[in-house]
């Protein structure tokens, strides 16, 4: 995928979250780059969850559009994965 068409992906994660690892593995498998923000270590990431009134992780932000949990259908739709 050309860098110019690469969507901005941020994954808000927690240390003991198995679904967070599944999301990261899935995006790596599909060759998407992403930035991981561990909300337990990053106060700004924790504030972002609170601001969005979201209580759990993973939260995947694709071009600033949130997906709560590993919702593969929504991830595929936003990333154009067939």
9-79 carries CATH number 3.40.30.10: yes
CB neighbours of residue 43 within 10 Å = 9
What's the predicted TM-score (pTM) here?
A: 0.90
Helix (H/G/I), strand (E/B), else coil: 73: helix
What gap in Å lies between CA 40 and CA 72, rounded to an integer? 24
How many other C-beta atoms lie within 10 A of the C-beta of residue 23?
25
Q: How far apart are CA 52 and CA 50, in angstroms?
A: 5
pLDDT in tens, 9-62: 999 999 999 999 999 999 999 999 999 999 999 999 999 999 999 999 999 999
How many of the other CB atoms lie within 10 Å of CB of 20? 23
């Amino acid at each position: 995928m050309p860098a110019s068409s690469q969507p901005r992906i941020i994954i808000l994660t927690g240390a003991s979250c198995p679904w967070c690892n599944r999301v990261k593995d899935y995006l790596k498998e599909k060759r998407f780059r992403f930035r991981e923000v561990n909300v337990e270590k990053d106060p700004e990431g924790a504030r972002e969850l609170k601001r969005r009134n979201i209580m759990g992780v993973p939260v995947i932000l694709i071009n600033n559009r949130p997906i709560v949990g590993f919702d593969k259908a929504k991830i595929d739709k936003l990333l154009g994965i067939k």
